A = this chain, B = another copy of it.
Amino acid sequence: MRVLIVEDEPYLAEAVRDGLRLEAIAADIAGDGDSALELLSVNSYDLAVLDRDIPGPSGDEVARRIVASGSGIPILMLTAADRIDDKASGFGLGADDYLTKPFELRELVLRLRALDRRRAYARPPVREIAGLRLDPFRREVFRDGRYVALTRKQFAVLEVLVAAEGGVVSAEELLERAWDENADPLTNAVRITVSALRKRLGEPWIIATVPGVGYRIDTGTARA
């Protein structure tokens, strides 16, 4: 489990990190909103712990960005006790849990584990590959962070391709997985759907054709 801690007070942040380390939870620290957003874009985290009151973009703003990114990373908000009335707005921004300072490290760990479990069990994993993010639970697809509306068949086909993690999938296999049993083997439905998919997902094209074999998600490794 890997966590991003966004907290502007170094002493507190490091104390939390050290505590989490004992629980085998890896944690990175961002001291302000900008570095938080940068770290989020570079690394992949399972959870985010956000102090609301930080330099640069506020904790609220960072939370909004995380939610909008569609990554589905759960957020635990930290706030000073005297601002507890902000609780509603915190949840409204997409925070999944809330903790008021001062808090016990033990409790933080419990909540983080709870959030991680909830994410892991309740939701099918969000798959990411080559700038493509596919959320089976919400049935949403993002290309480079932008939402892409897909039809049912298009989503089904893309789901199979993404599940293959860049491996080649034959037209027959696509037919078998994304269509029901009684599909005409010599249909060109696959070609049409793939064509539509490419168009919807925009350029650069992310679905590569392997002549005579099938299709695969282009992860860029094959490009010169």
Contacts and interface: CB of A to CB of B under 8 A. Distances in A.
A92 interface: yes
Interface in A23-58: none
Contacts of A205: none
Interface residues of A, number: 50
B138 A121 contact: no
Contacts of A114: 104, 107
How many copies the complex holds: the figure is 2
A185 B216 CA distance: 34
B147 A224 contact: yes
A92 B152 contact: no
Interface in A97-122: 97-100, 103-104, 107, 110-111, 114, 117-118, 121-122
B147 A222 contact: yes
**8 nearest A-B pairs in the assembled complex, by CB-CB distance:** A152-B212, A91-B128, A137-B167, A147-B222, A70-B221, A139-B168, A139-B210, A138-B166
